[in-house]
Chain A
């Protein structure tokens, strides 16, 4: 399924809504969006993954990149991820570095 991403930046919160499948091709698009906000005063990154059906390690690498690029104070919220994506986050230990929520604001 074709990947799509929508972004909204408001009050130091960057919200991205991801649709489709996040692989090493679409991760480039995602990373470009992160690069655009890297120099802005963002304190929370909100990723709505309800419509994301697949995420490979290329997607995980963008999460790692976000934190390293934007800064250690960045909070990452993952909204309504599908069960199999939560599995990937858990297996790789990344669930400790993000907050999984049903909605944002929490």
Chain B
């Protein structure tokens, strides 16, 4: 697996999306799945940075592991913050998504977009690390 480190601050998000763009290009992903993957990784990385690192005052990097295997692009975000399973959070349901802006709560949309945008999303906590895994299928050309 390829690995790259980013400082755990919101200033890293721009470079992170650019890197995800490069990986997607290497994998031959089309424009729309590339955007969806960038969005998904950005959303999870934002949660890691703001709530995993900044809120408790942890200064640390997070890692992006990646590989292209069996017609799939696999990207894993790894961080050393406290265990946090994004899938354990309640997502907005169909009814929430019909609410007007005045009635909306502001949480949950990022994780909803993450799960909605990638082919597979999974989470595990192992060896003191959160591992958020994103899988995109590479369409045959």
Interface size class on chain A is 20 to 34
CB-CB nearest in chain A for B42: A56
- CB-defined interface of A59-76 with B at 8 Å, one 1/0 digit per residue? 011011111100010001
- Chain A contacts for B50, CB-based, 8 A: 24
**A residues whose Cβ falls under 8 Å from a Cβ of B:** 1-2, 21, 23-25, 54, 56-58, 60-61, 63-68, 72, 76, 84, 87-88, 91-94, 96-98
Asked whether, in the complex, the Cβ of A57 is within 8 Å of the Cβ of B110, the reply is: yes
Asked if B43 is an interface residue, CB under 8 A from chain A, the answer is: yes
Q: How distant is B77 from chain A, measured CB to nearest CB, in Å?
A: 15
Cβ contact of A58, chosen from B17, B38, B46, cutoff 8 A: B46
The number of residue pairs between A and B whose CB atoms lie closer than 8 Å in the complex comes to 76
Chain B interface main SS type: helix
Cβ contact of B109, chosen from A25, A60, A76, cutoff 8 A: A60
